[in-house]
Amino acid sequence: MTRRDLGRLAGAALATSQARNRIETEVVRLRLRHTWTVATSTSDYRDNLFLRFTAQGVTGLGEGAPLARYRENAREGQQALENVRADLETCDPWQFGKIMAEVFRRVPGNFAAKCALDVALMDWVGKKLGIPLYRYFGLDPRDSPLTTFSIGIDTPEVTRQKVREAAEFPVLKIKVGLDTDEATIAAVRSVTDKPLRVDANEGWKSKEEAVRKILWLERQGVELIEQPLPAHMIEESAWVRERVNMPIIADEACLHAEDVPKVAGAFDGVNVKLAKAGGILAAWRMIQTARALGMKVMLGCMIESSVAVTAAAHLSPLVDWADLDGNLLIANDPYRGVRVREGRLILPDAPGLGLTPA
């Protein structure tokens, strides 16, 4: 090696050590097609946190959907990530597992912001490897289950209209949990005899009411019920479970992998969401924890764009049920990624998440 080669090498090393990763965050307002009402809230838009992570000439894109229910919002999440910005700017993104473990240790709460970072890192990793993320996890995209399409709480007339708009979807997820439940299900059943899944979003207040409503739903062609009682009522959920036949799925009662053992006796399955868990890696751990305990797994989402929904979709070959429709509920999705054909999730084949601008 000549002196000039050595000098060039040293220069390259210096350039590498000085090249900082670029982290850009942005709060984006996603507008809902229909006013979105569930048992605990109503909204016309959601502010989600988007994150771009650029290193070595490649940019990974991430998104996290903070929920007021979990006392999170996008601005605070954006601020929380500023506390680790210096480390993210100098990190080696190939150490994504170590990076996320460190961020989980240092940043309290703000799981949606952690999700935005994790998704961006995993998109970066997939792009660098030149493979779609499902392949990184060793999965077969043909194993992805059908996704439900969610119908928020509304008047019977609008409910009927929404059900007609969802003609393409073979299974619907109906939001209940207010005193309009009977009218809602009657409106749905006046238009379709499709299988239904029902989400009460903690709306029923006693175990007796939950049993009565679930036994009634069993006669309406409903396959499963999500979070019938408030999150803290774990013992009451176990009581309900002994008295009904359909599977009961924990959502608000089970946010992280460490919550899964706490709900194991009281629920048949858990609804795993990237924004609750804090990203793809955390969601993967949560799925494996549920499987180790013999539980069923649903993969859900928030109101979010194709960025976060596609990230979740790459794990969907692992689960029993998918509810990945958040991007279909908004009017201004900035990206395209996972598609749905007759309810079936079609994963993109491009590297990383496989997103393209809309």
Q: Which positions touch Mg ion (CB under 5 A)?
A: 199, 226, 251
Instruction: Indicate the angle between helix axes 280-292 and 96-106, nearest 10 degrees.
Output: 90
- Name the residue with tokens 């030149």: 130
How many angstroms separate the CA atoms of 311 and 78, rounded?
20
How many angstroms separate the CA atoms of 56 and 72, rounded?
32
- Please report how close the Cβ of residue 275 comes to Mg ion at its closest, in angstroms: 12
Cβ closest to Mg ion, residue 127 vs residue 197: 197
Cβ closest to Mg ion, residue 251 vs residue 304: 251
How many angstroms separate the CA atoms of 283 and 315, rounded?
9
Cβ closest to Mg ion, residue 61 vs residue 302: 302
- Please report how close the Cβ of residue 153 comes to Mg ion at its closest, in angstroms: 13
How many angstroms separate the CA atoms of 13 and 43, rounded?
51
Angle made by CA atoms 116, 119, 125, in degrees to the nearest 5: 140
Cβ closest to Mg ion, residue 77 vs residue 300: 300
The type of residue at 189 is R
Cβ closest to Mg ion, residue 118 vs residue 226: 226
Cβ closest to Mg ion, residue 123 vs residue 199: 199
Position of minimal CB gap to Mg ion = 251
Tokens at 37, concatenated: 């009402």
Cβ closest to Mg ion, residue 154 vs residue 226: 226
- Please report how close the Cβ of residue 73 comes to Mg ion at its closest, in angstroms: 19
- Please report how close the Cβ of residue 196 comes to Mg ion at its closest, in angstroms: 14
Cβ closest to Mg ion, residue 251 vs residue 325: 251
Instruction: Tell me how far the alpha carbon of residue 65 is from its chain's centroid.
Output: 8
Cβ closest to Mg ion, residue 226 vs residue 333: 226
